[in-house]
């Protein structure tokens, strides 16, 4: 299933794009987006935060900011495939209910099925903690260190049916230092993520086609 690629509308600061942020963990990326939003006139507005459990620490950031936030744990269904599809349906329902125009994955640790991706393709964005196409998957820092990389960083990209394979929107580099642990590198990359992601979301909301033209041109 290869759904069509539909970009969000060009938003304005008086009518900002309605974004939903999806998280699984502590939500430091979410916090950086909410903070950026609160310090100026932006082309996007976070209307909903969703997590794949009720325990995700990041839900607290949303609540503090007065933003609706919902934990949607996996439903209790024995068949794994059915369970995954039902979970995505529940997420999709909430996204529709809030008239979501752009989905922002910020440390959301599940891979979406092609069924879900096809509904949101062009309006589904992720940040990955490496300079893609290098080190895709769940162990980017471990893989960068094992490879002896001297430069790493982060990548904002559209989500497609693959794992971290969608069109690249923006990247930011950080050095890998001698003796770095996975945690050291992760923290340094997160600083870069927190600077890059909110600005990139704002730029996409203002003029989404800019990013596609640049890729295809």
For ligand GRF (CB under 6 A), the number of binding residues is 14
Closest separation in Å from C-beta 151 to ligand GRF: 17
* 15 Rama sector, left if φ>0, alpha if ψ -120 to 50, beta otherwise: beta
Residue of 117, 127, 159, 176 that binds ligand GRF (CB under 6 A): 127
Binding of ligand GRF by 27 (CB under 6 A): yes
Residue of 107, 153, 166, 208 that binds ligand GRF (CB under 6 A): 107
Cα 216–Cα 46–Cα 16 angle in degrees, nearest 5? 65
CA atoms within 13 A on the CB side of 141: 16
Instruction: Tell me which residues in 171-210 interact with ligand GRF (CB under 6 A).
Output: 190, 193
Cβ proximity to ligand GRF, 153 vs 208, nearer residue: 153
H or E segment to which residue 209 belongs = helix 209-216
Binding of ligand GRF by 28 (CB under 6 A): yes
Residues present in the chain in total: 217
In whole angstroms, give the CA distance from residue 44 to residue 215.
Answer: 23
Tell me if residue 92 is catalytic. no
Binding of ligand GRF by 71 (CB under 6 A): no
Judge contact between 50 and 72, C-beta under 8 A: yes
Residue of 29, 122, 166, 208 that binds ligand GRF (CB under 6 A): 29
Task: Count CB-CB contacts under 10 A for residue 96.
Answer: 10
Instruction: Tell me which residues in 132-171 interact with ligand GRF (CB under 6 A).
Output: none
Residue of 3, 26, 71, 114 that binds ligand GRF (CB under 6 A): 26
Q: How is residue 176 written in tokens?
A: 């890998």
In whole angstroms, give the CA distance from residue 182 to residue 90.
Answer: 34
The residues of the shown chain that bind ligand GRF, judged by CB under 6 A, are: 23, 25-29, 58, 106-107, 127-129, 190, 193
Q: What is the set of active-site residues?
A: 128
């Amino acid at each position: 299933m290869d759904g069509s690629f539909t970009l969000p509308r060009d938003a304005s600061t008086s009518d900002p794009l309605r974004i939903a942020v999806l998280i699984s963990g502590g939500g430091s990326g979410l916090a950086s987006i909410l903070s950026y939003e609160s310090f100026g006139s932006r082309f996007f507005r976070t209307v909903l935060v969703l997590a794949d459990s009720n325990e995700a620490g990041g839900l607290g950031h949303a609540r503090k900011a007065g933003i609706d936030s919902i934990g949607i744990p996996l439903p209790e269904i024995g068949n794994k495939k059915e369970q995954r599809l039902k979970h995505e349906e529940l997420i999709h329902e909430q996204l529709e209910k809030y008239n979501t125009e752009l989905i922002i994955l910020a440390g959301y640790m599940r891979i979406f099925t092609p069924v879900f991706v096809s509904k949101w393709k062009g309006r589904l964005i992720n940040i990955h903690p490496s300079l893609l196409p290098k080190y895709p998957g769940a162990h980017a820092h471990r893989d960068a260190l094992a490879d002896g990389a001297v430069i790493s960083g982060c990548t904002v990209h559209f989500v497609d049916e693959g794992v971290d394979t969608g069109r690249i929107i923006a990247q930011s580099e950080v050095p890998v230092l001698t003796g770095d642990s996975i945690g050291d590198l992760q923290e340094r990359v997160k600083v870069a993520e927190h600077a890059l992601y909110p600005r990139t979301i704002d730029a996409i909301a203002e003029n989404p086609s800019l990013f596609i033209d640049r890729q295809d041109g």
